[in-house]
Amino acid sequence: MPTLSKFCFSMALSALLALCVSFGAIASGAAKSPNIVLILADDLGYSDLQSYGGEIDTPNLDQLAKEGLSFSNYHTSASCAPTRAMLLSGVDSHRAGVGNIAEAKTQSQASSPFYNGSLNENVVTVATLLKDKGYHTYMAGKWHLGYKQEKLRPINRGFEQTVMMPYSGADNWQQRSYLPNYAKVEWFANGKNITLPDDFYSSKYIVDKSIEFIDSNLKDNKPFFSYVAFQAVHIPVQAPKEYTEKYIGKYDEGWGALRKLRQKRVKELGLIPKDAAMTDVVTTQDWQALTEEEKKYHSKSMAVYAGMVDAMDANIGRLIQHLKDIGEYDNTVFIFTSDNGGEASAPGDISKLFPLWMWFEDYNQDYETLGEKGSYNYIGASFASAVVGPLGHYKFYSGEGGLRVPMIISGPALNNALEGTVNKAFTYVKDLAPTILQLANTSHPGVEYKGKSIEPVTGKSLMPIVSNRQVSVHGPQDTIAYEIGGNAALFKGDFKIMLNRPAVGDGIWHLYNIVKDPGETLDLSTKMPQLFQDMKLAYAQYETDNGVLPVPSDYDQRRQVINNAIDVRVVRPIKAFFSRLF
């Protein structure tokens, strides 16, 4: 009997140990680092997604919002490359070398290390640190952080596999330029030049490549970081015909009606206070003063824009479905956002030479084929004020419409209680790099990496918010400043000081409570003079600490892009020609 008891005890102990091993394996599997998919739209307006108040069909991103956490007070730079530098490094754009986009630099900026226009070697990207952690790292889409030297390309900045377009933008149907700044458009795969396929459409191609990269390493069961950087909805605004046709007639009432409709919906969703005011942007035209033909054209132009957003969402849906098909969806954290607010530029209005360049490049603006291959489309300032609605200003400017964009985090890292909710705390683009690193259970090395001095991260991880331990990571006394092209802002708690240069702005500092007044309608500078002065002093210190340079009194960022193009493509070749003669 004792022998039998010993035997039974031994068997029970073995079973218990096996059970513990089994649970340990399950726990180990559960603890596997999550995949991270970072999706970046280009020039997307604050209220473009239905989950942010829009009328455009965006079911896949809306589902991510339903399963995730939406941020209603998230801010970026008002221009693409500075945002991308901060997104991938957690470092202020000036200190990362991207104080301005390369295409718009002034002569004085061109000689400053804070304005290289490419990502400095004194910052370490999240891709590098995730790769060190054992992640596969992939990048597909727009880069815009330097490429002329091989060391600047993403394949040498921590990404294991890449396919990228290095410029501020490009045609979405063909391998050709959208601005005279670029003699040709190059695409690179793993750092080497490639030719795009005949059936290229940017949103589809970028997702095709993202899927291809993910599938290439599935067997080793390592987690992956996939940076998916769309061209949508940067100019030229182009979309497949079937997507545009869904929206024909939808915008016949014009930009004012659309802006009011979105304002109402944004309030209903609780993204801004119900009593928040909204003012018109000074560059918005009178819709009723247009001819019927002009109204028809502008309406279709906006329909193409909506179709481009819709097509982007549909391709994001393909990526999501693929992750479900291969069993990786449930272990994938998605972060979706935009690099800045809506784009208001109408290149033909900025330079009278631009239509001549379009003719030379065989672009057209015909109504019947608007947005299709060979078409050059843009929505202009009036509809741009609607897509950022109910906010003010737009891309390039430091109003909320230029800086505040959608941001969604969805996936297994999110506390279940937060699913489908909105976080209203102030957050900033620099916060995403430390968030991504914490998701991967790693951290930034600080001021030194592999024996080399580097810039420390100045953003704050959003994981305390995502895990439902805190509602905010920025305290009421924290300050975060921003500048590009002479337009500037500084945030402190619920408040923001803002300066925008003429002609869109007035060149004067203003103070707003952007929580109660996101439309920036009530200037508090005279009512709160001490706060106003304190914030201006903090901004002056930011300028000193980050090498911010003044711009000429007549500087206009968009016009500078064209002026630089003329210099590179016309003036310098002529000077070189005559220097050879004499």
Is cis: bond before 503, omega within 30 of 0?
A: yes
Residues carrying an active site annotation: 80, 144
121 or 18, higher pLDDT: 121
Using a pLDDT cut of 70, give the percent of the chain over it.
Answer: 92
Single-letter amino acid, residue 33: S
Q: How far apart are CA 510 and CA 176, in angstroms?
A: 42
- 91 — pLDDT class (breaks 50, 70, 90): very high
Q: What is the mean pLDDT of residues 201-219?
A: 97
> What is the pLDDT, as a whole number, of residue 571?
58
> Residues 431-458: pLDDT tens digits?
999 999 999 999 999 999 999 999 999 9
Q: Hey, what are 334's tokens? A: 């998605």
Question: Residue 310: is it exposed, middle or buried by C-beta count within 10 angstroms (0-12/13-18/19+)?
Answer: buried
For 33-412+422-471+553-559, give the CATH class: alpha beta
Q: Say how far residue 378 (Cα) sits from the centre of its chain.
A: 19
Q: How far apart are CA 52 and CA 39, in angstroms?
A: 17
> Residues 404-438: pLDDT tens digits?
999 999 999 999 999 999 999 999 999 999 999 99
pLDDT at 566 over 90: no
Q: What is the mean pLDDT of residues 552-578?
A: 73
> Residues 474-519: pLDDT tens digits?
999 999 999 999 999 999 999 999 999 998 999 999 999 999 999 9
> What is the pLDDT, as a whole number, of residue 27?
37
Query: For residue 122, what are the contacts with CB-CB under 8 A and spacing of at least 6?
Result: 95, 97, 453, 454, 455
Q: How far apart are CA 465 and CA 481, in angstroms?
A: 22
Q: What is the pTM of this model?
A: 0.93
Handedness of CA 520, 526, 528, 529 (dihedral sign): positive
471 or 9, higher pLDDT: 471
Q: How far apart are CA 396 and CA 390, in angstroms?
A: 17
Checking phi first, is residue 312 left (phi over 0); if not, alpha (psi -120 to 50) or beta? alpha
Q: Hey, what are 311's tokens? A: 């097509």
- 31 — pLDDT class (breaks 50, 70, 90): low
Q: How far apart are CA 414 and CA 306, in angstroms?
A: 30
Beta strands in 302-395 (DSSP E): 332-338
Taking each helix axis from N to C terminus, what angle separates 59-67 and 292-325, rounded to the nearest 10 degrees? Answer: 50
Query: For residue 213, what are the contacts with CB-CB under 8 A and spacing of at least 6?
Result: 136, 138, 140, 161, 224, 226
Q: Hey, what are 333's tokens? A: 């954290």
Q: How far apart are CA 122 and CA 166, in angstroms?
A: 20
The residues with which 423 forms a beta bridge, in sequence order, are: 71
First-last CA distance in the chain: 113
Longest dimension (CA), the chain: 113
Q: What is the mean pLDDT of residues 319-328?
A: 98
Residue with tokens 């900026």: 109
- 32 — pLDDT class (breaks 50, 70, 90): confident
> What is the pLDDT, as a whole number, of residue 6?
42
Tell me if residue 242 falls in helix, strand or coil: helix
- 576 — pLDDT class (breaks 50, 70, 90): low
Contact 61, 51 (CB under 8 A): yes
Phi then psi for 512, rounded to 5 degrees? Answer: -135, 150
pLDDT at 309 over 50: yes
Q: What is the mean pLDDT of residues 173-182?
A: 92
181 or 200, higher pLDDT: 200
Kind and range of the H or E run holding 11 = helix 2-30
Tell me if residue 366 falls in helix, strand or coil: coil
Contact 104, 468 (CB under 8 A): no
Q: What is the mean pLDDT of residues 319-340?
A: 98
> What is the pLDDT, as a whole number, of residue 9?
40
> What is the pLDDT, as a whole number, of residue 85?
98
- 570 — pLDDT class (breaks 50, 70, 90): low
Q: How far apart are CA 99 and CA 114, in angstroms?
A: 6
Least confident of 38-42, 278-282, 545-549: 278-282
Q: Helical H runs in 184-270?
A: 202-216, 241-245, 255-268
pLDDT at 17 over 70: no
Q: What is the mean pLDDT of residues 36-50?
A: 98
Write the DSSP string, 395-433.
TTS-SHHHHB--EEEESTTS-GGGTTEEE-S-EEGGGHH
564 or 574, higher pLDDT: 564
Neighbours of 192 (CB within 10 A): 10
pLDDT at 26 over 90: no
Q: Kindly list the domain boundaries of the chain, sorted by start residue.
A: 33-412+422-471+553-559
Phi then psi for 504, rounded to 5 degrees? Answer: -70, -35
Single-letter amino acid, residue 97: G
- 542 — pLDDT class (breaks 50, 70, 90): very high
Kind and range of the H or E run holding 490 = strand 487-492
Q: How far apart are CA 557 and CA 343, in angstroms?
A: 13
> Residues 331-352: pLDDT tens digits?
999 999 999 999 998 887 777 7
- 240 — pLDDT class (breaks 50, 70, 90): very high
Least confident of 182-186, 256-260, 305-309: 182-186
Residue with tokens 């990502």: 119
- 15 — pLDDT class (breaks 50, 70, 90): very low
pLDDT at 18 over 60: no
Give the chain's mean pLDDT: 92
pLDDT at 12 over 60: no
Q: Hey, what are 341's tokens? A: 């607010």
Q: Hey, what are 58's tokens? A: 């965006």
Q: What is the mean pLDDT of residues 145-169?
A: 97
Write the DSSP string, 46-68.
TT-SGGGT--S--HHHHHHHHHS
